[in-house]
Amino acid sequence: MKEIVDKLGSLDVHRDIVVPCLGVRESDRMVTLSKETFATIDKGPETQLEFLSDARVSTVLTATTCKK
């Protein structure tokens, strides 16, 4: 598998919370993961963006589930 980025963010979106996760490949090829939990309303979106931009992540994947 070809590695295309050194940093990757993902968003796990739920009804009441969003969990952004950061994966950063270190120089020794190990990957460091970090994540936080934010509300989906009020200041949640602003703090999610700050969490990802502080880590200088430019690629973000989103995982969502939709139930009827």
Number of structural domains, the chain? Answer: 1
Q: Concatenated DSSP letters for 1-68?
A: -----SEEEEEEE-SSEEEEEEEEE-TTS-EEEEE--EESSTTHHHHHHHHHHHTT---EEEEE----
* pLDDT for residue 49 is more than 80: no
**Residue at 51 is within a domain:** yes
**Residue at 1 is within a domain:** no
**Residue at 33 is within a domain:** yes
Mean pLDDT of the chain: 76
* pLDDT for residue 60 is more than 60: yes
* pLDDT for residue 42 is more than 70: no
Span 44-58, average pLDDT: 76
Range of the domain at 50: 7-62
Q: Cα-atom radius of gyration of the chain, to the nearest Å?
A: 13
**Residue at 67 is within a domain:** no
Q: For residue 21, name the pLDDT band (cuts at 50, 70, 90).
A: confident
